[in-house]
Amino acid sequence: MGRSSARPPNSASTPTNRRGAVAQADGTSGARFLDHRDVTSAVTPPGAQRGGTHRHEYSGDGQRIGFTYDDHLLPGYGRTVGMLVPRNDAPGGATHWFTILVPVVPQNDARPGDLVSATSDSWVGRHGLLRAFIGRVKEADGTFHNSLYVVDIPANVDVTTAQAGTRNTFPTPPQSVRVRRLTHTNHQGIVRGSPDGQRIAYLAQDANGKWQVFLIGVDGQGVTQLTRFPAGVRHGARWHPSGHSLAVVMDQGIAVVSTRPGANFGKSVMLTKQAGIEGLVWSNRGRQLAYNRRVPHPSGAKDGEALPFLQIFTIPVPDRILN
């Protein structure tokens, strides 16, 4: 049986009113909520959230669920990163305990080195021990930059040491997590960790100001530019399950790029030449890619013009395409 993140029907969704839910992938059961949301208590119950979780992502072993979080009670705080873990004592009849992982402060209160937001996150490796993200940090000169960070999460982390917050205080992470800054340059897009947990792919500007994919070790060493497309990369940076290549989206379509060290490093093959591609994802075995593209449809006609609807497409990817 597979499980996927889902939102039950007929539920309002705003950035500060969202919860994680799961449903059987074969459709045999309805969705059920994972986390408990409480925005009325003066002191938020331990393990509950008081805003909205979204972009839910299982760790490779299925034991932890990462997400980004927006607070309802203190909207002056920016978005941050957290996780859900299964616990029998989760509040409100939920199955999972909520905790943030990255502390943030309101922008007007930030001092040099403080993070005002943490976004664009994903797991690195299979066991939910490392989550990479883009942190917006205040520099010593008073400016703000979006740089690459990771948060280390011990296997035996005690999530009950996290503070759920009050009407006047923001939630805090568990005591044993550690946030590390890996880069000091500007970045954009969702960062992606390699399947073996050793490297992180992210978008940064090259010498010509074009956004390209760079790779870095989880220890902050070995920064390497992977792509060198003349017009740059728009988004994507999805690792093949083998870890030997990445799929990326450009204005011209989808390309697969080799990440193997050696002569083929950075070698690319174009798979499509379609514009407007988004939502790129590999199949579990890496034999095909799925993506979204907007297609005009007569049923959405307005004033005689067909409106575009988001559709799902797949494309097969031959084994050893870059070898």
Please list the ranges in the chain whose pLDDT falls under 70: 1-13, 298-306, 320-323
Rounded Cα–Cα distance for residues 3 and 16 (Å): 24
Instruction: Tell me which residue of 81, 92, 71 sits closest to 14, measured CA to CA.
Output: 71
Supply the pLDDT for residue 323.
57
pTM for the model: 0.89
Domain boundary assignment for the chain: 230-323
Helix and strand totals (H; E) in the chain = 0, 22
Bridge partners of 215? 201, 224
**pLDDT digit string (tens) for 233-283?**
998 799 999 999 999 998 879 999 999 999 999 999 999 888 889 889 999
Rounded Cα–Cα distance for residues 268 and 228 (Å): 10
Supply the pLDDT for residue 252.
79
Supply the pLDDT for residue 301.
60
Residue 65 DSSP class: E
Supply the pLDDT for residue 48.
97
Note whether 120 and 189 are within 8 A (CB): yes
Instruction: Tell me which residue of 278, 131, 301 sits closest to 218, measured CA to CA.
Output: 131
